[in-house]
Structure formats: C-alpha cells, structure tokens
Structure 1
Amino acid sequence: MNKFLLVLFFVLLSCKGNSQEENKANKIEDLKASFLSKNEAEFLNNFPKTFVVFNDTFGWDEVKNSQEPLYNDANKYIDYWFSLLQKSKYKKYESQIISISKEGKWDADAIEYFRKSAVNYIKKENKYDLINSLNNEDAKSVLNFFYGSPSPIFDAIFFKNLDNEKKIIVKKMLSNNISEDKKRGTFSTYENNNNFFIKTFDVNKDGVLDKIVSNKPYQENTDLFVFYGNKENDYQLVLETINFSEDGGNIIESIYPITNEKGFMVKTYFPDRGYYEKEYYIIPQNNNWILRNIIYKTMSDVSENAVKYICDVKQNIDITKSNWSDKINEIPEENERNKKCRIENNSNENKQYFIQDSDGYTNLRKDKTSTSEILQKIKSGEHIEVLDNTGDWFLIKTKEGKEGYVHKSRIKTE
C-alpha cells in the first residue's frame, strides 16, 4: 500500500510540473499575441508582475544554459510596456515597476535593460513616491536591484528625490561597492566589492597566505594592492601600484604566483584582435618592489606560417619610486626580434582553444553576426573546438556538442 501511495505521489508531482510548464507557455503566448496585435489592455494584463515571471519570460535560464522564450525581443516588449504606462488611463500599472524590481537580481541583457528603463521612467515621470511610499524592507529590496549592477553609478538627481530613510539605504549600498579614500589601505574595503578581484597566495613565502587586490578589466581605475597576511588573519598593505592595464591597449587577465620565488606575476592581453600578451614579474626586495622583467608574447603576422616571438626583457625598476613607468624597456623592434627573442612555430597541430571574455562569458550565435540568435552562453576559460577559423567569426563546437559562431576576438589559444 505504501509503495502504491509513493508511486501515486510522484505521478501527481510530474503532472503538476507539466501543468506549470503548460501554464507558463500559454501566458507567454498570450503576451506575444497581445504585443503583436497591439491590444494595450490585454498586453498590460499579460505582462509579468513579478521578477521571477519576468526572468522566466525574457531572461536567461542558468540551469539549462539557454534563453527564455522572449529573450531576443525583450527590449521591444519592455519599451512598449513603459510607453503605455505614460498614458493617464494606465497609471495604475506603475506599481508593477516595484513588484518586478522587488527581489530582483542583476543580470545582463533584459534584466539590465528593465532596470535602466525603470530608473529612467521614475525620473522622467517624477514617480519617486513609488519608492518613498514603501516600507524600508521593500525599499531596500527595490533599491538593491536598482543599484545592484557590477559597477553602480551614483545618480544625484535620483538620490535627491528620495526621502531621508531611503537615502540612508542607498548610501549603505554604495559604500559596499565604492571604496572611500580613507579605506584604500584596508583589505575589508575590497571584499565583496564588484569592482575588484582578489587573488590569494603566499607572496613573500613566509608560510602565510597573502592577498592581492586588483580592479577588474574595463574599470576607470587600474589599482593593484598587495596585503601581507599574518596568523591572526589580519592584512597589512605593503604595495599600492597599477595592474598594468592600458587605455586602448592590453588589459589585465589575472595575477599568478612565481614558482619557487617571492613575488607575483601580472598577465595582460590585448582583447580585441591579434595576439599580444605581457607578463610582468614583480619581486619584493627589502622595502622595495622591483619589476624584474617583462615577457612579451606576440606573432610575426597573421599568416599560417607566422611564428610566435617570446621576448624576455630585463627591467629592474623600483615601482615604488615616482615616474617608474617611464623607464620600462619595451618589446624589441620587429627587425630585432629574430635575434633578441625566442621563436616558436605557429603550428596548428594539437592547438587548444578556449574562450576569454571580460564579461565572464561569450555568446554562441547561430550566424556570423552580433545580432544573430544566441544558442548558448560559453563561460570564459571553457575549451572549445574550432571547426573553421576563416574570417572574423569562427565556427566552433562547445563541450556540449553545440555548433555555432563566436567572434575571433573572444577565442584564445594555449
């Protein structure tokens, strides 16, 4: 009898799951139909009313690693929805801005587009009461969504129109993301801070783990901090410098320990085209930090017969001194590289390809265009198989076996 009840339970559970999927599909079809027919009232009634439903309609399914039904057309639906809210007869639907934003979690594409649209609507229509009328718990949830992007920007106009309680909430949120000058020397400033990444290893080889903090790529600042740790898990700032990212040039890829030596190595790469990497080797010496050498890696040209140049250039520059960057010895001129650099043949045999994108992922597309349908998101560092490397868009196969196109600037080789 118990076995029968257990089987019956799972059958009912399965039916419920199927019913929920069918209900979701029907609602999306109703929304789509009302959008295409421009039936305003039906469209407003069918538009998602919570963040979960919004994400299930326009977002990205992280579990299945696939787009939701209206992912590609999300911006059109969002624009149409906000345009209807501007009509006086539809003002009652403005509360959905809050119901969608509440419990919202930042993501790219449709989520970010809705977030920006919501903030702009509130500012344009002077609808700050939508937030000011909330209790602090709900306001915190909504404002966390509005200010929860990886690089939150302080909006003086928006902030000015919030009441005092809501201003306090915003200040606390921003203080967790934007370091103040007086906190620059404190490691806790950079923990859980979306503007920075942290590497943990024993820099000075004293048996205690240390912390190296750096701005992420494409940030306005290019700071790098080294904190020595102690056995009490406290951290002391011992070096403040740059992460060697360049405006319009190479950007930081990561930071690595130096095998069997004190110090660390900063690796940068050129993100848009070609192959150009730099490895900066920095070692502690007494109370100074020495840029010992830079290893430059580049190709002779883009042909099949191209060779790789690996140029180890001595520096011996104290980076704690002023104007130290002016003393850097650059890569040898092209006509000198055959003599001064190590040369490797650019053989395609056994070449390993992987994705490298500062966003943390790149899009696998159906055709050779940035507006083509997205088939899958591929995480940075994930290995792929290149089926055709002609042109700007490479035909590749993912580890799941999906084939599609990725722009060559997002594909690197080992």
Structure 2
Amino acid sequence: MSETFIQADDSITLWGIIIIWASVSIYLEQRYSWASKVTGAIIALVGAMILSNTGVIPLESPVYDAVWSVIVPLAIPLLLFHVNIKKIWKESSRLLLIFLLSSIGTVAGTIVAFFTLRNHIPFLDQLSGIFSATYTGGGVNFAAMSAKFDTPEAIISSAVVADNLMMALLFIILMMIPAIHLIRKWYPAPHVEQVEQSQSDDDKTLAESFWKRKEISLKDMALSIGTAFLLVIVSLKIAEFFAAIIPSGDNASFFNNLLSGIIGDQYLVLTTLTFIALAVFPNYFSGLNGSQEIGTYLIHIFFVVIGIPASIPLIIQTAPLLLLFAFIIVVINLLLSLVFGKLFKMSLEEILLASNANIGGPTTAAAFAIAKGWKQLVGPILIVGTLGYILGNYLGTFLAVWFGSIM
C-alpha cells in the first residue's frame, strides 16, 4: 500500500478527520441551499473520496473498522427510539415485495454482464456468483462467497476495489434521484413530501428546518447513549450465541442456514430487541430527546468512512472491466426496481431503499433512509434487507454453477 500523509495507525488524527468532516458536511447542509439539495451524506462521502484518492488518508485503517463495528450498530437503536411501531408491519410487507422484485434485477444484471464480458475477465463465473450474492444482500455476502470459491487473491482484491467504488457512486445516484422532478412526477413520494412540508421558514434550508433546535438535557444524552449501548451489547451476545450453536454453511440444511441468518445476525437481533423494548417501555423512549440527532450524527460519520475505500486510481490500474461489470449489474437492478415499483404502485422511497438494500445491504439502506429523514422506513428496511444475507448466497451459488458449466 502506498504511503499517505496520515498513516493508518495514527488513530487520533484519522478519528479527528472523520468526525470533523462529518461535522462540516452537516453544517454545510444546514447553512447553504445547494448543500441541502446535495445532502450532507453525499458531501461526507465525496469529501472522503477526495481525501483518500489524493493521498491524505489511507484506504484502510483499524479506525474505519471501528466505525463499522461500533458506530453503525450504535446508531441503529438511537434512530429507532422514536419510530411508530404500528406502521412498521405495513411498511415491511410492501418493502418485502419490492425487495424481492429488486433482487430479480440483480440476477438479470448479472446475466447480462456475464455474457457481455465473459471473454474479457478471467474467473468471471466465480466473480458472477460473488457479485450477484453481494448485490442481493450487501458486503456480508462478499466475504462468504469469496471464501466459497478458490478465486485468486489478486482477482478478489480488484473485485473489492470495484465494489467499493461502485457503492460510493450508487449512494450519490440514489441520494440525487428524489430531487429529479421528472421522476417525482412518475412516482408517489410521501416521505419526501413529509420532510419538505416540515420547512416552515423560507430563510432556512430544508435540512435546517427538519432538524429544528430541541430541548435536550444531560440525562437525555446519558440515557439515550447508555440504552443504545446496552441494546447493542445484548443483541451481539445473543447473535453470537445462536450463530455458534446453529450449523450453517454449505453442509447445513436450508432451514439451519435460514435460522442462523435470522437469529444469528446481530443487526436483525438488534432491531428486534429494540422493537420489543419500544413496545414494553413506550413512555421511557418517548421521553428521550436527542436520540434522533445523535444517531444521525453517527450516520454521517459512517458515510465519511463509506467513501474512503473508493480508490479511483487503483481500479483504473487493476481492473476497469470489473467496475464496468459491477456497473451493468447495478444499473439493471435500479432500472428494473423502478419498473417493478411503477407496476406495483410502490413509492419512490420504497423502491430506492429496496435497491439500496440489495446492492449495499440493510445497514447502508437504513443509513440512506436516516440521511433523507425517512424515519418510518428505517426499521422495515433493516428487517427486510436482512433476508438478502440468505437469499443472496443461494442466488450467487446457482449463477456461479450455471456460468461455470458454459465457460
């Protein structure tokens, strides 16, 4: 790995850069109308891409791993503390349908990409299995499918870079779509409209109006963060316990893989545990001020880290065709998601979140919903998107075996 101005082990400086840039992105979003339209999430992501691609910060660091393992799980319950549980099941059923339809887009995109590029990319049958699994359930499936096949490490490394850059580009595209007037004419967007209607002062940006100043005490902050950490720790231990005792993998039955994927997954257990707590102690959680703001701030830190690994020079040097391969899959997934969403009268928010959950996994889809202010969709997309962990590996295995037989 090439030398950078800030070294990977300079933890305090890297934490400082990530947190400062997340803070700047939020400030710009609430201060300037152009930044409010672009959104703080994109500003955070693009700024991080610039810092990593110009050699200021490294592409990999334990600091970034800590954001994934600590900051993201902590943000999820904080954002769910004020969710209306009564609306969860209705939203989940609709999202489940469009999520499954969106996964058809991933399969179709992989087939088109494979037959277009099979004479130009080595090991494309295995890579097709890896990418189709990844773009049905997110990065969790990438690791699982990479271990499944005996693909050369250099090819896998190039695929990781292509996937990271494609994910960064996808986030930018998804963030911008709701602002396109032509698309807004074709699809209902109730959650976007709800956020827009919260703007009551013409002198304020949309983001500033949505995140109005609230009364918050030290006790609110202590209980919000403390409760979130408690839920994260308990859910992690529960998931680890069940993952250890339930057989999973190639030699396990479909039922065991399904069961392990549901109760052995930290994020799904965390979401379920948070919903149970909300149902049992509604007055406690409704009295906590500031949890939404703290969670959203943590999500902006996450968006900074999402942009860091997207190395443009590295993908140009190693495997530009792999980026094209990933691009074909993602574009067809998004287009078919929009087509299916129109046919089944889905909202724009549901369509975009389903596509995001397929390509990037439930965690990134929840972050997208949070960044856009679609609070009622955070819980449902976490629940529905987790199914991609299971579905993706089966689809990926099927496609890899099929393509391997015709190469």
User: With structure 2 as the length reference, what TM-score do the two structures score?
Assistant: 0.19
Larger proportion of strand: 1
Larger proportion of helix: 2
Greater Cα radius of gyration, structure 1 or 2: 1
1 or 2 for the larger relative contact order (CA 8 Å, sep ≥6)?
2
